[in-house]
Structure 1
């Protein structure tokens, strides 16, 4: 069983709300039981990792029905079915969805406003609100999915540009990234230590902390995406660490590591981290290396504390 979309959750949410005042936390497990969700599905998070998907969809189901006058909020964080909601339940509907909610003038006005805003961004005149405009995803999920698509495209573009540049540029990129992540002390000392190719079988060494109490040895390989880094390459790097008496190493590549290479580093005495192209690009995005903010969109939520009276 997959997690139901927010429209499929409307009927059970309204049913529970008809029992009396509820919180989302009160109905979440009961709904999960009703749909036979596994523990993994109950715990699954949105891509942002900040909220459970089921919790988010219940919230949106409740919010949309409140706009249709089926649910009201008598107190902070609580909801209950209205008389209109109870009347609807008395008709024994098999499903409540956006198509049904659009019969409510209040919801239709609210929903038309969202549709018209979306149409204006496409520079076309809005037609009447139809069921086709009702996405199975919540607005928050649509935003996160769009953001994820942009991130994936940016990741691919970053790796393409890295491979097009010189090995010296790649070494400098690793310096910039490590410093941005808090390694290497200052940028000057990190740059001085990294890029010493051929020094004992490693490409460089950086301080793990500003005082240089511990060191991390680095191997950087700028390969095409189709070139897999295998166990022999990683094993040679680990051999260099042993020869240098080092306990920590980072192997960075623009391509991928074989499963044998990843398995090899799992049970070593040394702590060796493998960073493939995808993770490299993700770290660059996270720490602002090689990227800049194109446009910032700020999404705001209701501040419950502001409206809480003593």
Structure 2
């Protein structure tokens, strides 16, 4: 069973409270999840941001739309109850209730057009309420698309620059992640070397209690097990315990399996993870626009 979209939840949610009793959101989450036969994994599946389960987000937005249309009311925080208008809608025997059906109510029309003050944003909200995604999902999906496009641009830039620049980029990233201290302290990692598999050395912490050996390869081909074996051998030659192998391409399954069976702790970072880390830690990127999505502070309004 796939997780139902928010529009598929509108009518079941309304029917779930048809007895005019007051229900908590938690009870409704469980009841609707049971009704749709969702597995444990489906109930636990999170939005891309990891902030909320998908099913709870969709039920939450279905509740919001029904409330905005006057079909539900909130008698107290975290609780819902059906209204007379909601009962009237149930009597119309809808096979499926959609957001477009809610436009017959003036309150819902006001809700969907409230962003007229911001010009084109009204069209965005109108589009969201007509699609399968909730507004939260639409925002997160748009963010993920922008992030994916940015990652592609980053990788294209990396491949156009010199191998030396790539090694310097790797050190910059390690520093931003909290390793090596300052650029001056991590300078040893930027030296060119022909040491049989190690491009540089960086401190694990500011005190230098341990060191991490780095290998950076700006490759297009898949990195196989032989390359990782060479790196592991180089670590043993230096009596090193930790290493990070970073590439712009990817690693074979044999390479990934190999690092799980050696005494040295070797972390493999492929091109996809590299660009993710660069975005997360602000290496080679700058902030364009910041949008704050605010939510109601229920504690403020409690007496």
Shared fold per TM-score greater than 0.5: yes
What's the counterpart of residue 3 of structure 1?
3
What's the counterpart of residue 38 of structure 2?
37
- Aligned residue among 175, 180, 184 for 2:176: 180
The 5-angstrom pairing of residues 1-310 of structure 1 reads 1-19=1-19, 20-114=21-115, 116=116, 120=120, 134-224=130-220, 227-309=221-303
Q: Is the 8 A contact 2:13 2:63 kept in 1?
A: yes
Note the residue ranges of structure 2 that are not aligned, 5 or more in a row. Answer: none
1:78-122 deviation line (CA, Å, top 9, x unaligned)? 1111111122223333222112211111112222345x5787259
For residues 277 and 244 of structure 1, the distance between their equivalents in structure 2, rounded to whole angstroms, comes to: 27
Of 177-186 and 82-91, the range deviating more from structure 2: 82-91
1:263-303 deviation line (CA, Å, top 9, x unaligned)? 11122211111000110000000000000001111111111
For residues 195 and 17 of structure 1, the distance between their equivalents in structure 2, rounded to whole angstroms, comes to: 69
Of 16-25 and 46-55, the range deviating more from structure 2: 16-25
Q: Is the 8 A contact 1:218 1:251 kept in 2?
A: yes
Cα 1:266–1:131 shift into 2, 3 Å = closer
Cα 1:132–1:246 shift into 2, 3 Å = closer
SS at match of 1:62: helix
SS at match of 1:106: helix
- How far apart are residue 172 of structure 1 and its match? 1.1
Q: Is the 8 A contact 1:46 1:52 kept in 2?
A: yes
Cα 1:131–1:241 shift into 2, 3 Å = closer
For residues 158 and 228 of structure 1, the distance between their equivalents in structure 2, rounded to whole angstroms, comes to: 19
SS at match of 1:218: strand
For residues 142 and 119 of structure 1, the distance between their equivalents in structure 2, rounded to whole angstroms, comes to: 19
- How far apart are residue 149 of structure 1 and its match? 0.4
Cα 1:132–1:210 shift into 2, 3 Å = closer
SS at match of 2:216: strand
For residues 56 and 10 of structure 2, the distance between their equivalents in structure 1, rounded to whole angstroms, comes to: 13
SS at match of 1:31: helix
Q: Is the 8 A contact 1:16 1:22 kept in 2?
A: no
SS at match of 2:75: coil
Cα 1:66–1:121 shift into 2, 3 Å = closer
For residues 190 and 130 of structure 1, the distance between their equivalents in structure 2, rounded to whole angstroms, comes to: 52
SS at match of 1:46: coil
TM-score (structure 2 length as normaliser) = 0.94
For residues 221 and 34 of structure 1, the distance between their equivalents in structure 2, rounded to whole angstroms, comes to: 52
TM-score (structure 1 length as normaliser) = 0.92
For residues 148 and 132 of structure 1, the distance between their equivalents in structure 2, rounded to whole angstroms, comes to: 17
Of 8-17 and 170-179, the range deviating more from structure 2: 8-17
- How far apart are residue 241 of structure 1 and its match? 1.0
Q: Provide the alpha-carbon RMSD of the alignment.
A: 2.0
- How far apart are residue 220 of structure 1 and its match? 0.5
User: For this pair of structures, how many residues does the alignment match?
Assistant: 301
